[in-house]
Amino acid sequence: MSDLAIRTRDLKKTFDDKEYVLRGIDLEIPKNSITFVIGYSGTGKSVLIKHFLGLLKPTSGTLEILGQNVNEISETDLVEFRKKFGVLFQGAALFDDMTALENVLFPLNEHRRDLSLNKRKEIAAARLKLVGLDEKDFQKLPAQLSGGMQKRVGLARALALDPEILLYDEPTTGLDPIITEMVDNLISSTHKRRGDLTSIIVSHDISAAFRLADYIAMLDKGKVLLFGKPEEFFESDIDLVKRFISKGIYKK
Ligand SMILES: Nc1ncnc2c1ncn2[C@@H]1O[C@H](COP(=O)(O)OP(=O)(O)O)[C@@H](O)[C@H]1O
Ligand SMILES: [Mg+2]
């Protein structure tokens, strides 16, 4: 068995057959690691993680997830395959008219009908507890929760089906510093508590990357500019890496 969560070889993507958004990505992300994917806006970070989820198909190159070649998975099996992933995007994207508990119950109702409703509710409650939501808030609607609490619910929902890989796309972009720190800590504590989770965080928050990452991949114009441990980024002579680091937290 491979000890890699994700392995890409010369992964390329063009949407119009002219300009390539991904220009040959070679990446190996070890299982159970926290990996930050950083880089300036428009360099292909989101496009890359959409490939991980099977939402986009590569124009060429290979992509293996947990040892499986994604190109060889049929459309029907892809539904099952996606359950390996939990996803948290920039907004928490909760259902407005469902309580916190119902939001987390939703994927369980979709995919785990083999379990009794009581069991599903039990799991949903356990996930909310895992991310530190108070029991008194379980029956609240998203609008009754603070932004930080909504993020917790979103994360609990991403964890509902016990994913092997958790993908975050810009989880703290647009949040104030206090909530940013809370979400960063939540990413870290969730990772530790689960023990066998691979966490991949797309971010341009370089300071969070240095604080939390086992590995950092910096993309530039559809290529991996540098992949390595945070120390390797500090020591790098690559001009763009230096500039990115010196900005601290990159602002658009
Ligand atoms: N579905 C799409 N069709 C055409 N172009 C796209 C599509 N999705 C992304 N792009 C382009 O790909 C480039 C990289 O986008 P993206 O991966 O979202 O960047 P970022 O690194 O900021 O996440 C951008 O120029 C964007 O306009
Ligand atoms: Mg993006």
Phi, psi dihedrals of residue 212, rounded to the nearest 5°: -110, -25
Phi, psi dihedrals of residue 206, rounded to the nearest 5°: -65, -30
Nearest-CA residue for atom 16 of ligand 1? 44
The amino acid present at 154, given as its one-letter code, is G
Q: Give the Å distance between the CA of 50 and the centre of ligand 2.
A: 10
Q: How far apart are CA 66 and CA 241, in angstroms?
A: 29
Q: Write the pLDDT tens digit of every residue in 60-85.
A: 999 999 999 988 888 888 888 888 99
Q: Write the pLDDT tens digit of every residue in 93-113.
A: 899 999 999 999 999 999 999
Q: Give the Å distance between the CA of 203 and the centre of ligand 1.
A: 15
Residue 22 pairs in a beta bridge with 13
Which numbered atom of ligand 1 lies nearest the CA of 44? 17
Q: Write the pLDDT tens digit of every residue in 152-193.
A: 999 999 999 999 999 999 988 888 888 888 889 989 998 998
Q: Write the pLDDT tens digit of every residue in 179-232.
A: 888 889 989 998 998 889 999 999 978 889 999 999 999 999 999 999 999 999
Residue 38 pairs in a beta bridge with 218
Confidence (pLDDT) at 248:
63
Q: Give the Å distance between the CA of 72 and the centre of ligand 1.
A: 24
**Pocket of ligand 1, beta carbon within 6 A:** 15, 21, 39, 41-47
Burial class (CB in 10 A: 0-12, 13-18, 19+), 143: exposed
Q: Give the Å distance between the CA of 56 and the centre of ligand 2.
A: 14
Q: Give the Å distance between the CA of 233 and the centre of ligand 2.
A: 21
Nearest-CA residue for atom 12 of ligand 1? 21
- Ranges of each domain in the chain: 4-246
Please determine, for residue 56, whether its predicted confidence score (pLDDT) is greater than 50.
Answer: yes
Which numbered atom of ligand 1 lies nearest the CA of 39? 21
Across the beta sheet with 60-65, what order do the strands follow?
20-30, 4-14, 60-65, 68-69
Which numbered atom of ligand 1 lies nearest the CA of 47? 17
Quote the CATH superfamily of domain 4-246.
P-loop containing nucleotide triphosphate hydrolases (3.40.50.300)
